[in-house]
Structure 1
C-alpha cells in the first residue's frame, strides 16, 4: 500500500473524511491505475451516503483489475446497506472466490442470504465466521438463530450458550436460549428463570414478557 493510501486510511479511521478525500484524489492523480485508491475512495463515499459515486469508483477499480477481492467486499457492503441482499450476496461470494478468506466476508454473505429467507444456505457461512473469529459474539448469535430456525435445537442451545459465555447479559440470547430449550422439550418451569432474567435486564422485552405470561397462565 502506498503512503498516501495509508494516510487516507488513517484519516478514515479518525473520521476525517475531507482529508481522506484530498489524499486519495492526490493519489489517483499521481497513479490513475491505483486500484486500492479507487476502492478506498469508494469506501469514503459510501460512508458519506454517496452510493452512486461509490459504485462508480468500485466499477473503475474492477475495470483496472478484476481480481482484487476487497472491491467485491466493499461492493457487497454497498448493496447490503441498500437492502439489495441478492446483489450483496453475489458480491460477497465473488470476494470469497477471489481469495478474501476472512470471517467478515463469510458473516456478511451469511447475513445477506438470511435476509433473503435462505437460512439453510446461510448456516455454513455463519458457522465458518464463528470458526475464523471465535470471539465474534454477533456471528455466534446469528448462527444460533439460524440453527433455531432450522429446528436444530441442540446445536442452537450450544451456540446461544457460547454467546452467553462471552456476555451473560445478552438479553436476546437468553430469551432465544429459553425458547430453544422449550422447543427441545424442557419443562417451562425450568425455563421460566431465564425469561425472568431477560426482563430483569430489559424490563420492556416484549417477547420475554409474553413468554412469562404464557408460562404463568399454563401454571394456573
Structure 2
C-alpha cells in the first residue's frame, strides 16, 4: 500500500508542476534547473526536469537534446538514441547529434551503426576531428585497421595536438602488425613468430 501511495503522490506532484508550466510558468526555469543538475552529475534529477519541460512543450528540442545527453551519461543508450532521433527529425543537418548517436551505438556494440552516424557527421562537417577519431575506433573494433588508421590520420591532421588520436593510431598499428605477424607465422616464417611473441609480452 505504501508503495502505491508513493507512486500516486509522485504522479500528483508531476501533474501539479506540469500544470504550472502549462498555465504559463517559465519552462526555462525547469530547463535551466535540469541543466544545473546535469552539470552536477545528477542525471536522474536532470531527466525529471527535462521530462517536465517536454510534457509542457513537446517541441522544445533542446530539452530532448539535453535529456539524451543525460541518458547517455547514465549509460541508458537506448533512451539516449530515442531522444537523439527526435532531435534529428527536426534538425537533420546537425553533425553533433549524429556524432552523439554514433557514440551511443558504439557503446551498445553496434559498430556498423556507429560508423554510419560518424560518416554522416563528417559529411556535414568535414573538419569534425572527433567524428573521424570515433569512426576510427569503431573500425578498429571490427578489425579494419587500415580504415581506422586513415581516420586517425585525418583527425590528427585537423587537430595536431589530438593526444587520444595518436594513442589510438599507435594501438591500431600494433594490432595490425600483430595480425600480419600471425599470418606470416602461420605460413612458417619464424622471425614473424618471434616478433609476434615480442608483441604479446
Q: Indicate conservation of the 8 Å contact 1:72/1:92, yes or no.
A: yes
Shift in Å at residue 204 of structure 1? 2.2
Equivalent residue number for residue 154 of structure 2: 197
Q: Indicate conservation of the 8 Å contact 2:135/2:148, yes or no.
A: no
Q: Indicate conservation of the 8 Å contact 2:95/2:121, yes or no.
A: yes
Q: Secondary structure at the match of 1:151?
A: coil
- TM-score calculated relative to the size of structure 1: 0.64
Equivalent residue number for residue 14 of structure 2: none
Shift in Å at residue 127 of structure 1? 1.7
Root-mean-square deviation (Å):
2.3
Measure the CA separation in 1 of the matches of 2:18 and 2:111.
46
Equivalent residue number for residue 65 of structure 1: 20
Q: Indicate conservation of the 8 Å contact 1:103/1:130, yes or no.
A: no
Equivalent residue number for residue 86 of structure 2: 128
Measure the CA separation in 2 of the matches of 1:205 and 1:198.
7
Higher Cα Rg: structure 1 or 2?
2
For structure 2, the residue ranges without an aligned partner over 5 or more in a row are 1-16, 182-201
Shift in Å at residue 102 of structure 1? 2.9
Q: Indicate conservation of the 8 Å contact 1:96/1:105, yes or no.
A: yes
Q: Indicate conservation of the 8 Å contact 1:102/1:132, yes or no.
A: no
Aligned residues: 158
**Equivalent residues in 2 for 1:46-61, closer than 5 Å:** none
Please list every run of at least 4 consecutive aligned residues from structure 1 whose deviation after the TM superposition is greater than 6 angstroms.
Answer: none
For structure 1, the residue ranges without an aligned partner over 5 or more in a row are 1-61
